[in-house]
Amino acid sequence: MKKSLTLIALAAFLAVTGFAQTAEEHVRMGDEAYAQFDDQKALEHYQEALKLEPNHYEALWKASRAMVDIADVIPAADKDIKDRQMKMYTEATAIARKAVAANPNDTWGHFQLAASNGKRLLLLGKKEQIDASKAVRAEIDKAIELDPTNHLAYHALGRWHRRMDEIGGAKRVFGSILYGSIPKGSFEESEVNLRKAIELRPEFVNHYLELGRTLVALKKLDEAAEAFQKCIDLPKTTSKDDVIKEEARAELAKLKSKKK
């Protein structure tokens, strides 16, 4: 009994004398887990950091990032996939807003708010997507303004332009009647921004998948095939790359079937 009390006292002493993990240490361990493609473990550490310091900027935007990455790879076969994704994207968006409030002058909070909210909106109807598209664009632009080397912000801008241009032509006129003003996007601007993202981070797998999709929209099919193949051939650098490479293989197969 005396020995047990001694151990308890020792544990309490260690906790109050600095051996308990700090928010900074949890963020560091979260980063280590993230680098090892363990998004769930990373998220747990970021959440522990936020229990200690609710307004810890790094923990906020990185927790949002981990939630988005986890939601992105929920298996399509899961019957409740949309509900699970919506819950995670919504929570990730709320956390990203807190990150921006905690530090409005850093690129990553603004980028993460655009990314998480953009993913959430894709699960909603067209009216909600159009209504929020300007807000998403504003966060992307702010992320680039704060750091012109933020490759993911250019990636997001490329995708934004493609999404807006997909509503183009007669659909835009009809859509404007139903939903109000639709922001103008451009497949050409999508290509420019995705190539900028590649210039900044040429090893990032997802840049090539999205560039390939934009090049298909521009009917540059040979270049699209090269982009998809590059996506497949590059080494894995993020937890989502296996899924992204499978999507690139499917896109490449579709292109090859068109040429037959």
> pLDDT tens digits, residue range 136-181?
999 999 999 999 999 999 999 999 999 888 876 545 555 554 455 6
Task: State how far the Cα of 88 lies from the Cα of 85, in Å rounded to an integer.
Answer: 5
* Nearest Cα to Cα of residue 208 among 257, 241, 171, 170: 241
Residue 125, CB half-sphere, CA atoms under 13 Å: how many? 4
Q: Is the pLDDT of residue 51 over 90?
A: yes
Burial 215-229 (b: 16+ CB within 10 A, else e): bbbeebeebbbbbbe
Percent of the chain whose pLDDT exceeds 70: 86
Q: What is the pLDDT of residue 4?
A: 55
Kindly state the DSSP code that residue 105 receives in the 8-state scheme: T
Quick one: pLDDT band at residue 238, thresholds 50, 70, 90?
very high
End-to-end CA distance of the chain: 80
3 state SS of 203: coil
Percent of the chain whose pLDDT exceeds 90: 73
Torsion of CA 22, 24, 28, 34, to 10 degrees: 100
Task: State how far the Cα of 227 lies from the Cα of 41, in Å rounded to an integer.
Answer: 32
Torsion of CA 42, 242, 118, 49, to 10 degrees: 0
Kindly state the DSSP code that residue 55 receives in the 8-state scheme: T
- Cβ-proximal residues to 109 (8 Å cutoff; 6+ apart), any chain: 57, 60, 61, 96, 99, 100, 102, 103
Task: State how far the Cα of 63 lies from the Cα of 50, in Å rounded to an integer.
Answer: 9
Burial 134-159 (b: 16+ CB within 10 A, else e): eebbebbebbbebeeebbbbbbbbbb
Query: Tens of pLDDT along 71-128?
Result: 999 988 878 999 999 999 999 999 999 999 999 999 999 999 999 999 998 888 777 7
Kindly state the DSSP code that residue 166 receives in the 8-state scheme: T
Task: State how far the Cα of 245 lies from the Cα of 93, in Å rounded to an integer.
Answer: 26
* Cβ atoms of residues 208 and 234 within 8 Å: yes
Question: Mean pLDDT over all residues of the chain?
Answer: 89
